[in-house]
Amino acid sequence: MTLHELVELEPGNDANFLGLAGVALRLRESGAAQRALADVSAAGRLTAPYLRVAAGLALSTGNQPALAKSLAALAQLEPDNLRTQFNAAAVQVFSRDPSQLVAARAKLEELARHGPLRIRATLQLLQLVPPSAGQTAYATLASRLLPDSLNAGQPGFSELAQHMEAAPQPEPIDASELVYWLAAHGRAAEALRWIARLDADTRASDPVLVACALCAALVRDWPALSSALQAGAWGPTTKGVVELAFGARAQHDQVSFERALETWDDAVTLSAKSLESLRMLEKLASLWTWPAARENVLWQTARSFPHEQTVWRMLAIAAESAGDSGKLATVFTAWAAAWPDDRYVRSSREFLGVLREDTDPVLVREAIAALGRPDALPEEVAAAAWALSREGRAPEGLAALDKVAEQTAQRPRAALIYGVLLADAGRVAESKRFLALAPSERLLPEERALLTRAKAKLDLAP
């Protein structure tokens, strides 16, 4: 029986409405959650379960006043629940009401001095310190929070860090937040040492594992990163892949890069059926600045999981960043084969096909055929126009672009083609406008040559 059916059978049962609202929130259906909460009785709206769901709804919709109101009411109902007290204070500390702000800050300071929320409350107070405040602000906060043992001399940033690190048995999520804070302030190595002192269960928790992997990567501690990845910090991976990847890293450092790439290829092959393993290898190759190894991983991912649009985009960006139109054309050809109905991919393939010197006649015909479609994209029209110009029919191509001039102005690559054809036609002012829209820092060699030629024609060569 579904929750909807239960609600219909028991229309006066507040628990059913709250259950339905909770499910709606998890599904990110805030409208459905709001409708379910509206059906809760007046008495039910005074209970902790209602206030928790109402706070969740306010948080998901960005309704800060409603969030503050729900959390404050919940804190009154649960005075001994420290997490509830913290949540209420963390929101109220940004209140425009001075009395609420002062009370909230006092509660946060109380929680930050001792107890299980020491880390979370201290970090919340640190968020209130302006980035430009400097050591004086840290010293002021430290003097209010720290016990005498840490408050001797001139306490400051380091003493606040020590205070949080001394928290007994922190919750995994709180521990991970402290690790991120330390890493953000250039103390990733210190964070790793602190993680090593935590109990085994906390170290093995997902939040701490992920944070540990970040710090290990930042300080290039490959043994620590390998251990974190084997424990699943970046997701489940095929057995043996992590060991092969870091074996390749060791060979790179101690033997040769050629030997390392051989071992890397073994890791990629072993990962062929695991998207998580391939994603891990891609991250490692990026971290180690191994472009060839990264490209190998991306192509294996594209072959094994062609439905993953992200990997195609990454391949395209890599080829474009390298200024390699040949590789970029290869990417879009394979991408179009995997996604034949994707207009952007198809138009990009046609555009590159007519731009390059080794133009495939089939692509030329496909590009020109786009002019017969009333909903042709600017890139499709630009590709068709350039194909026509290469066949000695530039006026036809220019006329087609004239019809979509404003749309073309929003697409830099199409604007370049339009600007070049306008220059060839002697329409100087219009040409200057569209050539100025060209993506000057991301041009392919063929595009740069066209831009240089057009500028020379307009007597604008640098």
Averaged over 36-65, what is the pLDDT? 89
Task: Give the up-direction half-sphere exposure of residue 368: CA atoms within 13 A in the CB hemisphere.
Answer: 14
Residue 8 has pLDDT above 60, yes or no: no
Averaged over 54-58, what is the pLDDT? 89
Residue 360 has pLDDT above 70, yes or no: no
Residue 10 has pLDDT above 80, yes or no: no
CA distance 8 to 11: 5
This prediction's pTM: 0.81
Q: What is the DSSP letter of 372?
A: G
pLDDT at 7: 47
pLDDT at 205: 96
Structure tokens at 423: 């220059």
Which among 132, 85, 79 has a CA at the least distance from the CA of 109? Answer: 85
pLDDT at 9: 46
List of long-range contacts for 347-353, beta carbons under 8 Å, 24+ apart: 347/377, 347/379, 347/380, 347/383, 348/316, 348/379, 350/379, 350/380, 350/383, 351/379, 351/380, 351/382, 351/383, 351/413, 351/414, 352/325, 352/328, 353/329, 353/383
Structural domain spans, the chain:
171-233, 246-300, 336-462
pLDDT at 112: 92
Please name the residue that has the structure tokens 């329409």.
427
Contact in structure between 74 and 55 (CB atoms under 8 Å): yes
Give the model confidence (pLDDT) of 177-234 as tens digits.
999 999 999 999 999 999 999 999 999 999 999 999 999 999 999 999 999 999 999 9
Task: Spell out the residues 6+ positions from residue 290 whose beta carbon is closer than 8 angstroms to its own.
Answer: 264
List of long-range contacts for 52-59, beta carbons under 8 Å, 24+ apart: 53/18, 53/21, 53/22, 53/25, 55/87, 56/22, 56/25, 57/21, 57/25, 57/30, 57/33
The single-letter code of the amino acid at 286 is: S
What count of other Cβ atoms lies within 10 Å of the Cβ of residue 430? 17
Cα torsion for 314, 317, 319, 325, to the nearest 10°?
130
The pLDDT mean for the chain works out to: 88
Residue 140 has pLDDT above 50, yes or no: yes
pLDDT at 21: 86
Share of the chain above pLDDT 70, in %: 93
pLDDT at 271: 97
Angle at 391 between CA 386 and CA 396, to 5 degrees: 60
pLDDT at 348: 87
CA 291 to the chain's CA centroid = 21
CA distance 260 to 245: 9
pLDDT at 97: 85
Contact in structure between 87 and 48 (CB atoms under 8 Å): no
pLDDT at 461: 44
Q: Span 336-462: which CATH code?
A: 1.25.40
Give the model confidence (pLDDT) of 91-110 as tens digits.
888 888 888 889 999 999 99
Contact in structure between 84 and 49 (CB atoms under 8 Å): no
Averaged over 55-76, what is the pLDDT? 89
Task: Spell out the residues 6+ positions from residue 237 whose beta carbon is closer than 8 angstroms to its own.
Answer: 229, 271, 274, 276, 277, 280
Contact in structure between 351 and 413 (CB atoms under 8 Å): yes
pLDDT at 3: 43
The single-letter code of the amino acid at 28 is: R
**Selected residue with higher pLDDT from 406 and 133:** 406
pLDDT at 1: 40
